[in-house]
C-alpha cells in the first residue's frame, strides 16, 4: 500500500483534484450532481472530506448553474466534512475573513437543505477604495467560489461596484502568468456579466487563453467552466440559473 | 485631486536625474567622437542619445516649472549637444545626403523647440516634405507620429491625418490589455508622447485611446514595477501625466525614488549597475532622460490643473 509513504499534503491535493474533476464532469455532462462518495457521508474517507471542505460551495455549481438547489448527498458530505475537519488556520486577519466568507457561502447553501441552519454574514472585507484594486482583486480571486447563482451578499455587491478592479486584476494575473488567479477573477467577470453589467474586458479571449496556456488542472477547469456557463447565460435574457438579486444596482465599474 | 507628495517625489527625482546627466556631459561622457562622419550608418549609437538629452532639456525649458539651477543645467545641456552637432550642420548634411531618413528631423525638433534653429535645414526639410518619398518610408506607426510631431514643432507646413496615424498604432487598435509586452509597452508610451506633444496637447489623444490607457495603465505600471523595469515604469509615468488626471498614484514614483542612486543615477532595470562610470552612463542615460521628462510633465500638468481650477 503506497498510502503510508505518500505525504499527506500530496494525498489531499490529489483528492481535491479528483473531486474537482468529478464536479467539472458533472457540470459538462449536465448531470444533476457529481457522485462523490459511494458510501454514506459518515464513513467517507478523510482525504475525500478534506477535498470536499476545500471545494466548498463549488460542489453545488452543476446544480446551481442548472437552476436547481443544493442536492442532499453532497450537502450531507459537506456537513460531515465541516463537522469532522477543523477550519483551517488563517495566517492573518484578512485571511481569516476570506475563510469566513468561503464558509458563509457553504453555510448559506446548506441552510437550504436539512443539513444546515441560518448563518450570519462575517465581517465585511475592505474594498478597493481602502486597499487598492490590486490587493482587493487578489482577495476576490480567493473568493471565486462565491461567484455562483444563488449566492449574494456584500462580496457580490463589491464585485458589482468594481468591475474595472476585477478586470484589472485579471489582466495583471495574465501578465504575471498566474493563470489560476486569472481564471478565478475571470469567473467573477462572467458573474458580473450575468448580472447584466457592461463588460470592461472581453471575456472570451481571456477564457481561451487560460484554457490553452493554463495548468490544465480540474480546479482551474472548473473556474473556467463556471465562467463560461455564467457568460453564456448572460448572453441571453438575464442571469443563468435563477441568480438572486440580478439586475445590479450600482453604476458599474468605477475606477479603483 | 493633486497628491503633493507625488509632486515632491517627481520634482526631486527629475531634478536629480537632470544633474546626473549634466555632470556626465560636463565631464565629456556624452560626447560623440570628433571624427563622426556625416554618413555614419548607425544614428542610434551616434547622436540619438544627444537628441534624447535635448528632448528632456527642451521640455524643462518649454514648461518652465523647474528652479533656476535646473533651468540653467537644461540650457547648458542643450548648448553642449547643439555644439556637438556643429550647430545643426551635422543634421543638415545627413538629411541632405540621406534625404528619406527621418532621424535628422526628429532630432532637430527637440532643439527647435528650445529655439536652436538652422535655416538651411528647415528649407531642406520643407522641400523634402513635398516629396511623396518622404512619407512613403516604411517606419513603425508610432515613429511616424514622432515625425509628424517633429514637423509640427519645427513649424513645417504639413497636414497629416492624425487620426489615421493614431489608428495605425498598437494603441490605436486597443488590443487585449494582457497581450502587451515590453516592446509594445514602449509603442504605447511613444504613441501617447507624440500625439500629446509630451503633455502639451492633452486633447491630442483620441477619446477611446485615452479611456483605454486610463483603464489599463495602473496594471502595466504594476507589473513592470514588480519586475524592476524602471525605464519603462518611468515612461508609463510620463504617459500618466500627458492627458488628464493621473490614474496610477504613488506606487510607481515611490518605487523609482527607492532605486535612484545618491548621485541621481536611475537604473534602467534591476540588474547591477556597472562600476565603470562611462559604462554606467551609456547604460542608464536613457532612463535619466525619461526621469527628467517624467518629473517635468508631471509638475507641468499639476500646475496647469491648478491654474484651470
State phi, psi for A207 to the nearest 5 degrees.
-60, -40
Residues of chain A with Cβ-Cβ distance to B177 below 8 Å are: 171, 201
Confidence of residue B84 (pLDDT cuts 50, 70, 90): very high
Comparing CB atoms, the residue among B177, B226, B247 nearest residue A171 is B177
pLDDT at B260: 98
Confidence of residue B33 (pLDDT cuts 50, 70, 90): confident
* 3-class DSSP state of A151: coil
Residue A80 distance to chain B (closest CA, Å): 42
Q: Is B174 on the interface with A (CB under 8 A)?
A: no
pLDDT > 70 fraction of chain A, expressed in percent and rounded: 87
Residues of chain A with Cβ-Cβ distance to B255 below 8 Å are: none
Taking an 8 Å cut-off on Cβ atoms, the answer to whether B215 and A170 are in contact is no
**Interface pTM, i.e. ipTM:** 0.95
pLDDT at B123: 97
Residue of B179, B216, B244, B252 to mutate, interface with A, max A Cβ within 10 Å:
B216
> What is the overall mean pLDDT for chain A?
88
Residue A14, CA distances (Å) to A54, A60, A80 in order: 12, 20, 20
CB A74, CB A41: distance < 8 Å: no
User: Rounded distance, CA A15 to CA A29, Å?
Assistant: 21
| Cα of B74 vs its chain's centroid, Å | 14
pLDDT tens sequence across A201-241: 999 999 999 999 999 999 999 999 999 999 998 764 333 33
pLDDT at A253: 33
CB A66, CB A102: distance < 8 Å: no
Burial class of A218 by CB neighbour count within 10 A (0 to 12, 13 to 18, 19+) = buried
pLDDT tens sequence across B118-173: 999 999 999 999 999 988 889 999 999 999 999 999 999 878 999 999 999 999 99
pLDDT > 90 fraction of chain A, expressed in percent and rounded: 75
Taking an 8 Å cut-off on Cβ atoms, the answer to whether A168 and B247 are in contact is no
pLDDT at A246: 33
Comparing CB atoms, the residue among A171, A202, A206 nearest residue B219 is A171
> What is the overall mean pLDDT for chain B?
94
* 3-class DSSP state of A92: coil
pLDDT > 70 fraction of chain B, expressed in percent and rounded: 95
How many domains in chain B? 1
Residues of chain B with Cβ-Cβ distance to A172 below 8 Å are: 219, 222-223
Q: Of chain B residues 196-235, which have a CB less than 8 A from chain A?
A: 214-216, 218-220, 222-223, 226
Cβ-based neighbours of A37, under 8 Å, separated by 6 or more? A44, A48, A73, A77
Q: Is B276 on the interface with A (CB under 8 A)?
A: no
pLDDT tens sequence across B46-68: 789 999 999 999 999 999 999 99
Counted across chains A and B, CB pairs separated by less than 8 A come out at 35
Domain of B112, in residue numbers: 4-308
- Residue B261 sits in a domain of what CATH number? 1.50.10
Closest residue by Cα to residue B52 from B110, B120, B115, B134: B110
State phi, psi for B82 to the nearest 5 degrees.
-65, -40
State phi, psi for B273 to the nearest 5 degrees.
-85, 130
Taking an 8 Å cut-off on Cβ atoms, the answer to whether B247 and A255 are in contact is yes
Closest residue by Cα to residue B55 from B143, B125, B201, B153: B153
A193-202, A241-250, B234-243: least confident range: A241-250
Task: Please give, one letter per residue, the 3-state secondary structure of chain B.
Answer: CCCHHHHHHHHHHHHHHHHHHHHHHHCCCCCCCCCCCCCCCCHHHHCHHHHHHHHHHHHHHHHCCCCHHHHHHHHHHHHHHHHHCHHHHHHHHHHHHCCCCCHHHHHHHHHHHCCCCCHHHHHHHHHHCCCHHHHHCCCCHHHHHHHHHHHHHHCCCCCCCHHHHHHCCHHHHCCCHHHCCHHHHHHHHHHHHHHCCCCCCHHHCCHHHHHHHHHHHHHHHHHHHHCCCHHHHHHHHHHHHHCCCCCCCCHHHHHHHHHCCCCCCCCCCCCCCCCCHHHHHHHHHHHHHHHHHHHHHHHHHHHHHHHHC
Taking an 8 Å cut-off on Cβ atoms, the answer to whether A171 and B178 are in contact is yes
Residue A37 distance to chain B (closest CA, Å): 41
* A90 has a pLDDT exceeding 90: no
* A77 has a pLDDT exceeding 50: yes
Q: Is B247 on the interface with A (CB under 8 A)?
A: yes
Confidence of residue A3 (pLDDT cuts 50, 70, 90): low
Cβ-based neighbours of A63, under 8 Å, separated by 6 or more? A32, A33, A69, A70, A71
Confidence of residue A41 (pLDDT cuts 50, 70, 90): confident
Residue B212, CA distances (Å) to A171, B24, B282 in order: 13, 38, 34
Comparing CB atoms, the residue among B215, B220, B222 nearest residue A164 is B215
Amino acid at each position: 500500500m503506497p498510502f503510508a509513504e505518500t505525504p499527506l499534503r500530496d494525498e489531499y491535493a490529489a483528492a481535491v483534484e479528483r473531486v474537482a474533476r468529478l464536479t467539472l464532469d458533472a457540470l459538462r455532462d449536465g448531470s444533476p450532481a457529481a457522485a462523490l462518495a459511494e458510501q454514506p457521508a459518515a464513513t467517507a474517507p478523510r482525504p475525500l472530506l478534506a477535498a470536499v471542505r476545500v471545494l466548498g460551495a463549488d460542489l453545488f455549481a452543476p446544480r446551481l448553474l442548472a437552476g436547481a438547489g443544493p442536492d442532499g448527498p453532497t450537502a450531507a458530505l459537506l456537513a460531515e466534512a465541516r463537522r469532522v475537519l477543523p477550519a483551517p488556520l488563517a495566517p492573518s486577519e484578512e485571511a481569516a475573513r476570506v475563510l469566513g466568507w468561503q464558509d458563509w457561502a457553504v453555510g448559506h447553501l446548506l441552510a437550504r437543505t436539512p443539513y444546515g441552519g441560518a448563518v450570519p454574514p462575517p465581517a465585511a472585507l475592505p474594498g478597493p477604495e481602502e486597499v487598492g484594486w490590486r490587493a482587493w482583486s487578489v482577495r476576490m480571486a480567493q473568493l471565486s467560489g462565491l461567484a455562483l447563482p444563488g449566492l449574494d451578499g456584500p462580496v457580490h455587491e463589491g464585485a458589482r461596484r468594481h468591475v474595472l478592479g476585477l478586470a484589472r486584476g485579471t489582466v495583471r494575473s495574465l501578465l504575471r502568468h498566474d493563470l489560476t488567479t486569472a481564471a478565478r477573477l475571470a469567473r467573477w467577470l462572467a458573474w458580473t456579466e450575468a448580472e447584466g453589467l457592461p463588460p470592461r474586458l472581453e471575456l472570451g479571449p481571456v477564457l481561451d487563453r487560460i484554457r490553452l496556456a493554463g495548468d490544465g488542472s480540474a480546479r482551474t477547469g472548473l473556474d473556467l467552466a463556471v465562467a463560461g456557463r455564467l457568460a453564456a447565460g448572460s448572453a441571453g435574457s438575464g442571469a443563468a440559473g435563477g441568480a438572486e438579486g440580478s439586475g445590479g444596482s450600482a453604476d458599474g465599474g468605477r475606477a479603483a | 485631486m493633486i497628491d503633493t507628495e507625488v509632486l515632491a517625489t517627481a520634482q526631486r527625482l527629475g531634478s536629480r536625474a537632470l544633474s546626473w546627466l549634466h555632470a556626465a556631459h560636463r565631464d565629456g561622457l556624452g560626447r560623440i567622437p570628433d571624427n563622426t562622419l556625416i554618413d555614419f550608418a548607425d544614428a542610434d549609437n551616434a547622436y540619438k542619445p544627444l537628441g534624447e538629452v535635448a528632448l528632456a532639456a527642451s521640455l524643462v525649458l518649454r514648461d518652465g516649472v523647474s528652479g533656476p539651477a535646473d533651468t540653467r543645467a537644461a540650457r547648458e545641456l542643450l548648448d553642449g549637444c547643439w555644439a556637438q552637432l556643429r550647430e545643426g550642420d551635422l543634421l543638415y548634411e545627413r538629411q541632405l545626403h540621406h534625404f528619406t531618413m527621418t532621424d535628422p528631423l526628429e532630432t532637430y525638433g527637440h532643439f527647435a523647440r528650445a529655439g536652436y534653429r538652422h535655416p538651411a535645414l528647415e528649407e531642406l526639410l520643407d522641400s523634402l516634405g513635398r516629396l511623396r518619398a518622404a512619407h512613403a518610408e516604411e517606419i513603425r506607426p508610432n515613429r511616424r507620429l514622432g515625425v509628424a510631431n517633429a514637423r509640427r514643432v519645427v513649424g513645417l507646413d504639413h497636414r497629416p491625418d492624425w487620426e489615421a496615424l493614431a489608428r495605425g498604432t498598437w494603441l490605436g487598435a486597443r488590443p487585449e490589455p494582457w497581450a502587451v509586452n515590453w516592446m509594445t509597452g514602449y509603442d504605447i508610451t511613444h504613441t501617447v508622447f507624440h500625439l500629446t506633444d509630451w503633455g502639451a496637447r492633452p486633447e491630442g489623444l483620441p477619446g477611446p485611446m485615452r479611456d483605454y490607457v486610463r483603464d489599463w495603465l495602473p496594471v502595466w505600471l504594476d507589473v513592470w514595477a514588480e519586475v524592476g523595469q524602471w525605464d519603462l515604469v518611468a515612461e508609463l509615468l510620463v504617459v500618466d501625466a500627458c492627458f488628464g488626471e493621473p490614474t496610477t498614484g504613488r506606487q510607481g514614483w515611490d518605487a523609482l525614488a527607492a532605486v535612484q542612486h545618491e548621485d541621481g543615477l536611475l537604473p534602467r532595470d534591476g540588474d547591477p549597475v556597472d562600476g565603470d562610470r562611462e559604462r554606467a552612463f551609456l547604460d542608464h542615460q536613457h532612463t535619466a532622460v525619461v526621469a527628467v521628462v517624467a518629473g517635468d510633465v508631471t509638475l507641468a500638468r499639476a500646475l496647469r490643473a491648478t491654474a484651470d481650477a
